[in-house]
């Protein structure tokens, strides 16, 4: 017997497949049979000839109210001009028209001629998806038959390696294009009206105002992306504006309000948008503007704009992308959209949005009283309402905690920032020539794998027995546990020994138990409903990370020596894909950080709510679980390394550790079995999350000098006084 989930999937598929119009080829046939030109039809629909051409070749679909008018016209033509040929199967659209006619007119009122015409209509043909790519130097330079809506890229001065005219690189296998979005998820608009899409596609955008751009995007561009979960929502199309495009549309070259990051409410463009009955979100018209109308039924009307001259693409997350040619920007963002999500703002925002896209808060359920389908909670999600944290999981300024007068302390589950005391260094260590830094690939992402977190509100318990399978916060005294001073304590971010009872997340307490110590919680805040909420988020980002590294020549089949060599040159292989890789890492870090976003702005007062805490995804307990597990994972490797090799670290900063080494390579101190395989339990080199790569190499004397000054060598091991991107 089919399960409820299978039935819902089948129903969703039917709803998505139900056509509103006949196939594009049939639309053209009906118009030609009626003897109507595209220009005359465009005038009747108050549209353009190009728009009509788009309707008839499947590049775009009409929106309401033009949709209903076009439907009525085609319906009338279908009755007058049936396709020739007897015994042709009735297509689905024609069946809909027949049923509609029978409903409207009844069997007694429908003419025999109309009934015969409807029954003679052809079945829905298969329409191939076509698009035009910019020819590369190795392809035929003759302009291809591009039909309508698409034009070749305009001539531009030669650019370095990021030029879109270089030979296309082999990309990972792509899923079949959604026929609703034939031109991909996004486009980069230049000042001459060229909209650069994915795979070298170039569309002709005639818009001269923001309102025209929004309407063109929704009606004619063919942009968008399908939902990532069957209970989710399709991704809204993204238009990225270059500086020239922004000026052409009436936007200022620079956003004067650098604090609020938005246009003034009386700016002409904002007035135009509102006058046309479009709306802006509460954050207004800023670097990432969302322009929308309230949804009607299943149809969303929303366009996302990213304004490049307003620093929409932060150089830390998207290195060098804002200065690329539009075609290359489209390539970078397009790969990110395909592998991660269509950008919705900063990479941190996109990371958080990806969680919701993969775990939608609601699903359709049947109302037992009425029999109607209504919106209900989706098991495994975080729901639709914000949740107050347990007192130790929040912060003093949170309204629920501030007004309760809580004085019981707070969790300190943060990433490592530890420097070993120079007093513990031996002469043998100081005489080693090198300090080598290892960095764990996306350590927070690795920690999110198969991580059980709380989904319901916390309950308070006094004197509970510890259970490592229950996520929550435990008040425990771990100060009596004595560990080797050459290693950081696993219980505190700074690596110092606890001094008394403190609050810890479940993974930290479980690790104390794993080390052989008895734990006796004093009290706890635990959650009864649990689940691996982050699993799909982890899986998608892991695949994105591994696939992008593979595009840069770093694959799983490399030996450790080959891996180190490939990592040394991977950023030069393809700067565009290197930027995608950085964005993916930033998405991981920022997404986890967004789970515990603090109040912003100088005007904030303690005890007042702030926007971030009103989200269902404001969950400091989930962030604490990820960081606790990541820190425990790091300590477990440090401890195993000391047992296998006798080596102890000099410093740790989040997911980077620095070791004294007899050579300038990790191969000189990492533990290997006689077979040549890495010893399990310690640090291992490789391209997947949780494995390590070389962060940097310096002289040992350099590291000791920093340690004597109280500075962290892991922060600067790359050289050039570079600061590690904490929490990758």
pLDDT for residue 71: 87
Res 550: pLDDT: 97
Q: Write out the two tokens for 97.
A: 């028209």
DSSP 8-state assignment for residue 389: P
- With a CB cutoff of 8 Å and minimum separation 6, the contacts of 467 are none
Of 455, 698, 680, 439, the closest CA to residue 564 belongs to: 439
Q: Which pLDDT does position 176 carry in this prediction?
A: 56
Within its chain, how far is the Cα of 225 from the centroid?
13
Contact between 694 and 658 (Cβ < 8 Å): no
- Residue 150: its pLDDT value, please? 36
Tokens found for residue 94: 């024609």
The mean per-residue pLDDT over the stretch 608-617 comes to: 94
In the prediction, which pLDDT does 248 show?
A: 96
Of the listed ranges 3-17, 181-195, 487-501, 611-625, the one predicted with least confidence: 3-17
With a cut of 50, say whether residue 86 has pLDDT above it: no
Band (pLDDT 50/70/90 cuts) for residue 83 is: confident
> pLDDT at residue 386 above 90?
yes
> Whose structure tokens read 């975080």?
382
Confidence check: pLDDT of 161 > 50: no
Cα–Cα separations (whole angstroms), residue 202 to 127, 195, 198: 21, 6, 8
Average the pLDDT over each of 57-71, 186-200, 501-515 and give the range with the smallest value: 57-71
Does 89 or 624 have the greater pLDDT score? 624
> In this structure, are residues 251 and 307 in contact, taking their beta carbons and an 8 Å threshold?
yes
pLDDT-derived band at 7 (thresholds 50, 70, 90) equals: low
Q: What are the pLDDT digits (tens) for 396-419?
A: 999 999 999 999 999 999 999 999
Please tell me the predicted confidence (pLDDT) of residue 8.
Answer: 64
Mean pLDDT of 22-32: 89
Query: For a pLDDT cut of 70, what percent of the chain falls above it?
Result: 83
Retrieve residue 511's tokens.
């690790």
Res 601: pLDDT: 80
Judged by average pLDDT, the poorest of 39-43, 380-384, 631-635 is 39-43
DSSP string, 160-183: STT-TTSPPPP----PPPPTT-TT
The pLDDT of residue 11 is: 61
3-state secondary structure of 280: strand
Token representation of residue 617: 């995804």
Computed over every residue of the chain, the mean pLDDT equals: 85
pLDDT band at 166 (very low <50, low <70, confident <90, very high): very low
pLDDT tens-digit series, residues 698-727? 999 999 999 999 999 999 998 866 554 444
pLDDT at 255 over 80: yes
Q: Are 164 and 324 in contact (CB under 8 A)?
A: no
Q: Strand 651-653 to strand 458-462: parallel, antiparallel, or no bridges (unpaired)?
A: unpaired
Residue 1's pLDDT band, with cuts at 50, 70 and 90, is low
618 contacts 609 by C-beta, under 8 angstroms: no
Going by pLDDT thresholds of 50, 70 and 90, the confidence category of residue 191 is very high
Cα separation, 367 vs 371, whole angstroms:
5
**Does residue 355 carry a pLDDT above 90?**
yes
Q: Residue 184 CB: number of other CB atoms within 10 A?
A: 27
Sign of CA dihedral 24, 29, 31, 32: positive
Higher pLDDT, 134 or 218: 218
Least confident range from 74-88, 137-151, 212-226, 357-371: namely 137-151
Cα 307 to Cα 322: distance, rounded to the nearest angstrom: 10
Residue with tokens 């439907």: 71
pLDDT given for residue 4 in this prediction: 65
Side-chain-side CA neighbours of residue 344 (13 Å):
21
Please list the helix, strand and coil fractions of the chain in percent, rounded to the nearest 5, in that order.
35, 15, 50
- For residue 135, is pLDDT > 50? no
């Amino acid at each position: 017997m089919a399960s409820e989930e299978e039935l819902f999937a089948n129903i969703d598929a039917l709803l998505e497949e139900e056509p509103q119009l006949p196939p594009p080829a049939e639309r053209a046939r009906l118009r030609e049979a009626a003897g109507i030109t595209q220009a005359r039809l465009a005038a009747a629909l108050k549209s353009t000839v190009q728009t009509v051409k788009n309707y008839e070749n499947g590049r775009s679909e009409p929106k309401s109210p033009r949709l209903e008018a076009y439907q009525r016209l085609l319906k009338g033509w279908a009755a007058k001009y049936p396709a020739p040929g007897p015994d042709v199967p009735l297509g689905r659209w024609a069946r809909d028209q027949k049923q509609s006619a029978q409903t409207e007119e009844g069997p007694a009122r429908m003419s025999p001629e109309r009934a015969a015409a409807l029954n003679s209509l052809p079945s829905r043909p298969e329409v191939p998806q076509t698009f035009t790519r910019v020819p590369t130097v190795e392809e035929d330079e003759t302009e291809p038959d591009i039909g309508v809506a698409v034009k070749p890229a305009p001539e531009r001065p030669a650019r370095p390696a990021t030029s879109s005219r270089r030979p296309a690189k082999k990309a990972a296998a792509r899923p079949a294009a959604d026929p609703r979005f034939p031109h991909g998820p996004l486009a980069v608009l230049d000042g001459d009206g060229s909209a650069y899409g994915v795979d070298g596609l170039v569309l002709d955008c005639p818009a001269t105002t923001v309102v025209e751009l929004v309407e063109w995007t929704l009606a004619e561009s063919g942009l968008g992306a399908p939902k990532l979960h069957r209970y989710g929502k399709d991704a809204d199309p993204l238009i990225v504006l270059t500086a020239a495009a922004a000026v052409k549309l009436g936007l200022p070259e620079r956003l004067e309000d650098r604090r609020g990051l938005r246009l003034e409410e009386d700016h002409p463009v904002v007035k135009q948008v509102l006058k046309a009955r479009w709306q802006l979100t509460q954050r207004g018209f800023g670097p990432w503007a969302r322009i929308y109308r309230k949804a009607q039924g299943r149809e969303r009307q929303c366009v996302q704009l990213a304004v490049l001259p307003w620093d929409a693409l932060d150089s830390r997350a998207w290195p060098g992308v804002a200065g690329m040619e539009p075609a290359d920007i489209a390539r970078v963002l397009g790969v990110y959209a395909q592998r991660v999500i269509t950008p919705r703002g900063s990479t941190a925002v996109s990371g958080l949005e990806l969680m919701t896209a993969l775990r939608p808060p609601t699903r359709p359920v049947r109302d037992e009283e009425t029999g109607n389908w209504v919106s209900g909670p989706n098991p495994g999600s975080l729901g639709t309402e914000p949740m107050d944290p347990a007192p130790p999981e929040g912060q003093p300024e949170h309204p629920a905690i501030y007004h309760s007068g809580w004085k019981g302390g707070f969790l300190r589950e943060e990433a490592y920032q530890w420097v070993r005391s120079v007093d513990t260094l031996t002469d043998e260590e100081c005489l080693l020539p090198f300090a080598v830094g290892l960095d764990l690939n996306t350590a927070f992402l690795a920690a999110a794998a198969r991580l059980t977190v709380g989904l319901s509100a916390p309950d308070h318990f006094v004197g509970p027995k510890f259970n490592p399978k229950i996520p929550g916060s435990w008040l425990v005294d771990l100060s009596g546990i004595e560990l080797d001073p050459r290693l950081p304590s696993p219980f505190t971010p700074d690596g110092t020994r606890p001094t008394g009872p403190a609050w810890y997340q479940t993974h930290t307490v479980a690790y104390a138990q794993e080390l052989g110590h008895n734990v006796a919680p004093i009290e706890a805040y635990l959650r009864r409903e649990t689940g691996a909420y982050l699993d799909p988020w982890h899986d998608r980002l892991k695949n994105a990370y591994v696939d992008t590294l593979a595009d840069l020549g770093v694959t799983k089949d490399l030996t450790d020596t080959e891996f180190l060599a490939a990592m040394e040159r991977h950023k030069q292989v393809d700067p565009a894909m290197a930027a995608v890789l950085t964005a993916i890492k930033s998405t991981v870090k920022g997404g986890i950080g967004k789970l515990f976003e603090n109040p912003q702005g100088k005007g904030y007062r303690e005890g007042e709510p702030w926007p971030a805490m009103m989200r269902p995804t404001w969950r400091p307990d989930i962030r604490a679980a990820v960081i606790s597990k990541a820190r425990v994972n790091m300590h477990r490797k440090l401890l195993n390394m000391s047992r296998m090799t006798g080596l102890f670290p000099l410093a740790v900063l989040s997911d980077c550790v620095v070791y004294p080494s007899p050579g300038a390579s990790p191969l000189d101190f990492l533990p290997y079995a006689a077979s040549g395989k890495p010893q399990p339990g310690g640090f291992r080199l490789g391209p997947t999350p949780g494995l390590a790569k070389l962060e940097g190499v310096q002289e040992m004397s350099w590291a000791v000098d920093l340690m004597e000054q109280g500075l962290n060598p892991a922060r600067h091991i790359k050289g050039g006084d570079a600061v590690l991107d904490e929490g990758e």
